[in-house]
Amino acid sequence: MTKVKAEPYEFEFTIPRTALVMIDWQRDFVYPGGFGESLGNDTSKLLRAVAPAKKVLEACRAAGMFVIHTREGHRADLSDLPRAKKERGNAPLQIGDMGSMGRLLVRGEYGHGIVDELAPVDGEPVVDKPGKGAFYATDMETILKMRGVEKLVFTGVTTEVCVQTSVREANDRGYDALVLEDCVGSYFPEFQQAALAMIKAQGGIFGWVSDSARFLSALEVARRESAGMASASR
Ligand code: TIU
């Protein structure tokens, strides 16, 4: 086990039993003209998390860690869109309406896609989810089980909505979750702080919080340890 400096205490992981979970890095949330802006949000607030998340993504790939991406969205006929979700927000544009990046939160549209910097590569499953949580009405848990994953490292948007919902779902399913605070973004700085505080309160009631620098230095240690073990067993 390798230890990551984190709050409320060190998070332990091994590369083979851990997955990097990239939550909803979609143009619809990160860029103007998408679903996030249609709800009245300033999308530029999410951009600062893209560069650190990219560093983590590239390091996890290089270390051979399993990477899984999620996208929030709906079928083109909106048959999986609850009325309550469609009407929520009382916004001029709703899910399924045409925006400048295509129909808002509809699968296959440009805005529904993941930003180029963090785009999935071959071998990285993409889980399409109709709700905020990564586990609700998806095969997320099946995929993690097939890989023998026990620990999850989270980046993504938005911190207090889809990231926090997914962390809570993961916690109830028996996973240890680590959230990297500079790799998650919110339209509301005060909610970012509150969501992270909630996760790590009460001895880590839902999980752990660290940052990209601390995680990357631990990942380097884990890489060296697993390389050492591989050469010792030869
Ligand atoms: N509105 C908002 O903050 N987020 C979402 O609707 N979805 C995700 O967080 N992905």
Q: How far is the CA of 227 from the centre of ligand 1 (A)?
A: 39
Q: Quick check: 204 and 9 in contact, CB under 8 A?
A: yes
**CB proximity list for 20: less than 8 A, separation 6 or greater:** 56, 57, 60, 65, 66, 67, 68, 153, 155
Banded model confidence at residue 233, pLDDT cuts 50, 70, 90: confident
pLDDT in tens, 181-206: 999 999 999 999 999 999 999 999 99
Q: Does the reported pTM lie above 0.95?
A: yes
pLDDT given at position 134: 99
At residue 98, the pLDDT reads: 97
What pLDDT was estimated at residue 90? Answer: 87
Question: pLDDT of 18-66, one tens digit each?
Answer: 999 999 999 999 999 999 999 999 999 999 999 999 999 999 999 999 9
pLDDT of residue 227: 82
Contact 179, 196 (CB under 8 A): yes
Statement: residue 170 has pLDDT above 80: yes
- Cα(160) to centroid(ligand 1), Å: 8
**For ligand 1, atom 10: residue with the closest CA:** 162
Task: List Cβ neighbours of 55 (8 Å cut-off, separation of 6 or more).
Answer: 212, 216
Q: Which residue has the tokens 């938005």?
A: 158
**Residue 138, CA distances (Å) to 2, 111, 132 in order:** 30, 21, 11
> Is 129 a catalytic site residue?
yes
Q: Which of 45, 162, 182, 183 is catalytic?
A: 162
- Which DSSP string do the residues of 68-114 spell out, in sequence order? EEEEE-B-TT-TT--HHHHHTT--SS-TTSEEBTEETTBTTSGGGSB
Cβ–Cβ < 8 Å for 22, 156:
yes
Q: Catalytic site residue 24?
A: yes
Q: Provide the pLDDT for residue 91.
A: 87
What's residue 21's pLDDT? 99
**CA distances to 27, 57, 61, 117, 176 from 35, in Å:** 9, 25, 29, 19, 30
Amino acid at 135: F
Ligand 1 residue neighbourhood (C-beta within 6 Å): 24, 29, 36, 39, 72, 132, 157-158, 161-162, 187
User: For residue range 110-153, what is the model confidence (pLDDT) as tens digits?
Assistant: 999 999 999 999 999 999 999 999 999 999 999 999 999 999 99
